[in-house]
Amino acid sequence: MNLENKVALVTGASRGIGRAIALALAQAGADVMVNYASSEAAAQEVVQAIQAMGRRAIALKFDVSHFSEVEKAIKQGVEALGPVDILVNNAGITKDTLFLRLKEEDWDRVLEINLKGAFNCTKVVLQSMLKRRFGRIINVSSVIAFSGNIGQTNYAASKAGLIGFTKSLAREVATRGVTVNAVAPGYIETDMTAKIPEKIKEAFIAQIPVGRVGKPEEVAPAVVFLASKEASYITGAVIHVNGGLYM
């Protein structure tokens, strides 16, 4: 799968699944805009790793939930690398608690980052994709969007919202060479899942048919495939990467 001469933007790319996706896209030949919210050092490390592969990369700091920030930063990225061909809406947060304890601000913040963030980034890059009659939009959802999970009503709602967003937008832009798909990771070893108490982790792993948690590097190839010309007849689809946790 050759992504040479393509430019990708990956949100939340300084660590975890986003980092693995950014590196995998570069490995396939793409130049990459590495978005981050707080850790500049981690983002620059990803940029350097991409440059070491002989690809171009730039770190862009912006909060995906603020449209003006998104617009300004992506303009800077386009000036440096060229228009975005591949958008990976990966940025996401959790603020877990039982629904009765869930604060309004924690509901709002999770929806703002996980769902509105995808709207903002897509809004900024889509017009250019349509004009050039090529684009790949890949939204990173979650197994929780399909199975639900105790203490994650806000997170589940945001990730399920991404599925509806994916399918509806896919229908709107399909005739213009732009595909819109989603990847739904299961239990993946990241900073986010590291916060889960050990007993809950063990219970989770017991439900996974392959008997282990996944790695970010096992999610990234699905994204690379959806970004490639080989996937040009796939749109509105969800690829589940979860070790059989949800079938």
| Catalytically annotated residues | 155
Instruction: With beta carbons less than 8 A apart as the criterion, state whether 178 and 127 touch.
Output: no
Closest CA to 237 of 126, 163, 185, 160: 163
Q: What token pair was written down for 185?
A: 């990771």
The neighbour count for residue 207, using CB atoms within 10 Å, is 13
Q: Which residues of 53-73 are buried (b: 16+ CB within 10 A; e: fewer)?
A: eebbbbbbebbbbebeebeeb
